[in-house]
Amino acid sequence: MVTTTTAASVDLAAARFFRVLGDPTRVAILQLLMQRPHSVSELVEATGARQSRVSTHLACLRWCEFVTTERAGRKVIYSITDPEVGEVLRRGMELAQARLDHLVACERIGPEWA
């Protein structure tokens, strides 16, 4: 069957999908955008991250089409593209909160867990 190649591709795509959500700064950004559209400077202000960092993360989210942009004068306004993605994020955050202690304690994904 033709789906043989696809099976691995789907795993790969899924992994990339979740990896995009696997950064605290991007989580914070997406959370803010779920409330309402924000300009870059607002996101910098709200997250406390450097401007270059925020822009890079936004480029990542833009590329993956998690967010869309719109120019407004000197500012660029970012919005969530698909509410579905936000929904998965929300569900994940709930589950993460339940396991908060474990996950935060899990410093590394490689060796060196207790």
Partner DNA sequence: CCGGTGCATCCGGACAACCGGATGGATAGG
Partner DNA sequence: CCTATCCATCCGGTTGTCCGGATGCACCGG
Interface with DNA by CB under 7 A: which residues?
19, 22-26, 39-41, 44, 49-53, 55-60, 69, 71, 73-76, 107-111
Residue 103 binds a second copy (CB under 8 A): yes
Structure tokens at 106: 């899990």
CB 49 within 8 A of CB 62: no
Q: Which does 36 bind (CB under 5 to 8 A by kind): a second copy, DNA, none?
A: none
* C-alpha span between 58 and 43 (Å, rounded): 10
In this chain, which stretch among 37-45, 71-79, 96-104 interacts with a second copy, using CB under 8 A?
96-104
Residue 13: contacted member of DNA, a second copy, none (CB under 5 to 8 Å, by partner type):
a second copy
CA distance 23 to 21: 6
Element (H, E) at 38: strand 38-39
